[in-house]
Amino acid sequence: MEFDESIFKAYDIRGVYPGQVNPDVYKAIGTAVGNVLGAKTGVVGRDMRNSSQELAAAFVEGLRDAGVDVTDIGLVSTDSLYFAVGKMDFDCGAIITASHNPSQYNGLKICKKGAEPLSSQGELADVMNLLVKDEFKSATKKGSLSEQDIISSFIDHVLTFVDTQAIKPFKIVIDAGNGMAGLIVPKLFEKLPCQLVPMFFELDGSFPNHPASPLEPENIADLRRRVLQEKADFGAAFDGDADRMFLVDENANPLGGDMVTALVARSMLEKNPGAKIIYNLICSKAVPRVITESGGNPIRTRVGHAFIKALMKGNDAVFGGEHSGHFYFRDNWFADSGLIAFVICLELLSAKESKLSQLVASIDTFYRSGEINSRVEDIPAKLDELIGAFPRAVIDKLDGVTIDNGDFWFNVRPSNTEPLLRLNLEADSTELMQEASENVLKIIRG
């Protein structure tokens, strides 16, 4: 069939509705997924985007045409979809979502048994090839369709990671960004002693208040102001499909995903002494230091959930974290969940009797540039030039190039989709961070 092959990304499907993603394409993808996975049972959820219900219905029909018995779980977060697949042992699962992308986009995250995601290195490529060759086939018997509400069970699962009796009555501002956290978070707080101050909890796929991407500083400006106004203990923001979580301390200072990784790692190691923890190479040096000081075994990996989940399974790691706000748990089928990370941070703050800013200050002594993107035409040549500019540095090429100069280090890696280099730099002081960033950018952009 004819479709835009560019909608198939490294780990999911994303495109503009209805030009790139539409019911015809989704129905075909559904049948192809059933064919490739040989699935007998499947579960499908969706986010609140204006096109999601229509696309979900088409995808479900495609699965059923492939002979898959489908359970529709309706409006859910991505991490609750992973829970449904893992807990109820479905052969496959999918959620119609474009995560943090603007409102005109929609997408599809697909996983197989055990909540293991499909990727472009495996079955996702096979699905695309079936569509390209027009070789997806309907089964002789159409699959059945049923409905189920799994959110309460998901909340119960999330709370198995903590002792709710130990959690203190914090006042917390949460920005749902008009995304799925607006549905999920209130159900969590029904079982917590905390006071919830909700922001933008109305489900609205047009994102009328701000884009559902908390990684961008401008999108948490409202949250930061509200934390101060409310004199809250801290704040949190979730992205559109509510699988990523970001914290803001009581002074309205945002925490990077790596600092949350360090905090969660510390808590997990108190309950799992000596465990292995995975972190990606963009994370601060504070992360492996905290893991080691807490008696754990830090394992460094490249960026991307497919790499992290594989490494976690291979090492039986109890937890893994990324700078981007994805947090993975062994006892969650190695899948990521921002909500689980959130409640673990609640428990840690309760036990330490410290403000969030104090906890972070106790582990973070470094200064970071944040991610800086630069358009580069000849990426391999530019990486070689950077290596040559730091002859005394320690260099590795696990993901792009990481250059450690002692008092500062940086990683430069290419984008998967554009001719961009992404710079992340960390230094021992603000002045050195600024100076080193300027010098590295001169080389990248020169």
Residues serving a catalytic function are 99
R_g (Cα) of the chain, nearest Å = 22
Residue 72: beta bridge partners? Answer: 44, 147
Q: Which of 270, 276, 425, 261 is nearest to 352 (CA)?
A: 270
- Cis peptide preceding 18, ω within 30 of 0: yes
Burial class (CB in 10 A: 0-12, 13-18, 19+), 228: middle
Cβ neighbours for 10, distance < 8 A, ≥ 6 positions apart:
119, 120, 304, 306, 416
Residue whose entry in the numeric block shows the structure tokens 């673990």: 344
CA dihedral 28, 44, 56, 9 (to 10 degrees): -60
The span from the CA of 371 to the CA of 284, in Å, is 12
Angle between helices 338-352 and 257-271 (to 10 degrees): 70
Burial class (CB in 10 A: 0-12, 13-18, 19+), 313: middle
The span from the CA of 274 to the CA of 296, in Å, is 4
Q: Check: CB of residue 408 under 8 Å from CB of residue 425.
A: yes
The span from the CA of 240 to the CA of 260, in Å, is 19
